[in-house]
């Protein structure tokens, strides 16, 4: 299974999506910071599963419909930061789907995630990540889970990794930094947390018009 995750930077990089899908042939596309009202129903053979509706800029998930069948979809709101309360940028920070592999009949869960911005504390983002992983289990207990997206967590990943491991999940970074716009903030922002998946690699793709670089996750349900 090949999954691309991309923060579109307020939808600016939306014009790149068709090219990314054509070049890298993902089975699933997870988006953050997209103008959900402006999204097409299909991108290069991938069909729109659902987009969040609580805010203009939100999350979206596309998949290859001849590979996966959608069984259930859920959007999840998480604990709000001060930034969220004042500016109200996003009520829904997780978009998850329970999918059935058409060839094998096995089910799995994939989610697009966008954590609170850097103005919030790391402790709040850890709370959001733990809550998101717990809530995704409501789509199917004991199923493999892959949550990808913008974690806004450039430093102190050791504590995040331990927190995720304590919950039974694994944190996997890509092979290069994903945010490069400001020198002081450069680092790995976009990565994956998972359980029940063997992740062979996560490749950081070339920079586009977004301040984030897209990542390509290659994974297989264990």
Q: How far apart are CA 131 and CA 205, in angstroms?
A: 29
Most trustworthy range by pLDDT among 56-60, 86-90, 116-120, 139-143:
139-143
Residues 101 and 68: beta-carbon distance below 8 Å: yes
Q: What is the pTM of this model?
A: 0.94
pLDDT of residue 89: 54
Give, in words, the CATH class of 2-221: alpha beta
Rounded to an integer, the average pLDDT of 78-107 is: 80
Res. 82: pLDDT tops 70: no
Beta bridge partners of 110: 97, 146
**Of the candidates 185, 193, 209, the residue with the CA atom closest to the CA atom of residue 12:** 209
């Amino acid at each position: 299974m090949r999954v691309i995750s991309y923060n579109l930077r307020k939808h600016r990089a939306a014009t790149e999506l068709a090219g990314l899908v054509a070049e890298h042939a993902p089975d699933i596309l997870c988006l953050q910071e997209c103008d959900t009202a402006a999204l097409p129903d299909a991108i290069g053979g991938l069909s729109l599963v659902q987009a969040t509706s609580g805010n203009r800029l939100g999350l979206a998930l596309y998949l290859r419909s001849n590979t996966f069948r959608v069984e259930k979809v859920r959007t999840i709101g998480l604990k709000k930061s001060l930034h969220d309360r004042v500016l109200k940028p996003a009520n829904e920070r997780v978009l998850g789907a329970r999918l059935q592999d058409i060839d094998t009949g096995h089910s799995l869960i994939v989610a697009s995630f966008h954590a609170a911005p850097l103005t919030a504390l790391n402790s709040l983002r850890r709370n959001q990540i733990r809550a998101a992983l717990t809530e995704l289990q409501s789509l199917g207990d004991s199923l493999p889970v892959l949550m990808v997206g913008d974690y806004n967590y450039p430093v102190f990943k050791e504590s995040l990794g331990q927190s995720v491991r304590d919950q039974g999940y694994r944190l996997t970074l890509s092979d290069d930094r994903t945010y490069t716009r400001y020198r002081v903030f450069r680092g790995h922002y976009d990565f994956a947390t998972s359980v029940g998946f063997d992740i062979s690699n996560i490749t950081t793709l070339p920079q586009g018009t977004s301040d984030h670089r897209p990542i390509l996750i290659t994974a297989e349900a264990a």
